[in-house]
């Protein structure tokens, strides 16, 4: 029973390039969340998606960042024209179909982005 999968685990980009981070949720999970973690800090929420819908993007920077969760395939977090400040660990979490007001989120191993 595979958990949340993320790839790549490590990604190096030069300033101005694009970064694409992929996330495959746990089997049976239809909700995906992206978080960013800077060194020595907690996680910060970025975006919450269901299949083909963005539900909450209140934590996404207004420019250069976008996310999608298509009907088929993994969720993608895309960062255009990366800058050094984008260097961080990006974590994806998934949860099952919402059946109540609360739901646990299960995390992948993360993608560590380094911008040179």
Task: Return residues touching another protein (CB under 8 A).
Answer: 4, 6, 31, 33, 35, 41-45, 48, 55-56, 58-59, 91, 93, 95, 98, 101-110
Tokens coding 96: 């099952």
Q: Nearest approach, Cβ of 56 to another protein (angstroms)?
A: 6
Burial class (CB in 10 A: 0-12, 13-18, 19+), 101: exposed
Q: How far is the CB of 113 from another protein (least distance, A)?
A: 14
Residue 102: HSE in the Cβ half-sphere, 13 Å Cα cutoff: 1
CB of 38 to another protein, least distance (A): 11
């Amino acid at each position: 029973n595979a958990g949340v999968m993320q790839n790549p685990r490590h990604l190096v980009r030069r300033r101005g390039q694009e970064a694409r981070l992929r996330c495959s949720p746990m089997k049976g999970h239809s909700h995906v969340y992206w978080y960013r973690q800077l060194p020595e800090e907690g996680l910060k929420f970025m975006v919450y998606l269901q299949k083909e819908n963005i539900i909450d993007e209140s934590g996404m920077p207004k420019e250069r960042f976008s996310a999608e969760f298509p009907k088929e395939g993994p969720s993608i977090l895309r960062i255009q024209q990366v800058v050094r400040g984008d260097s961080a660990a990006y974590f994806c979490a998934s949860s099952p179909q919402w059946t109540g007001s609360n739901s646990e989120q299960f995390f992948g191993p993360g993608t560590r982005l380094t911008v040179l």
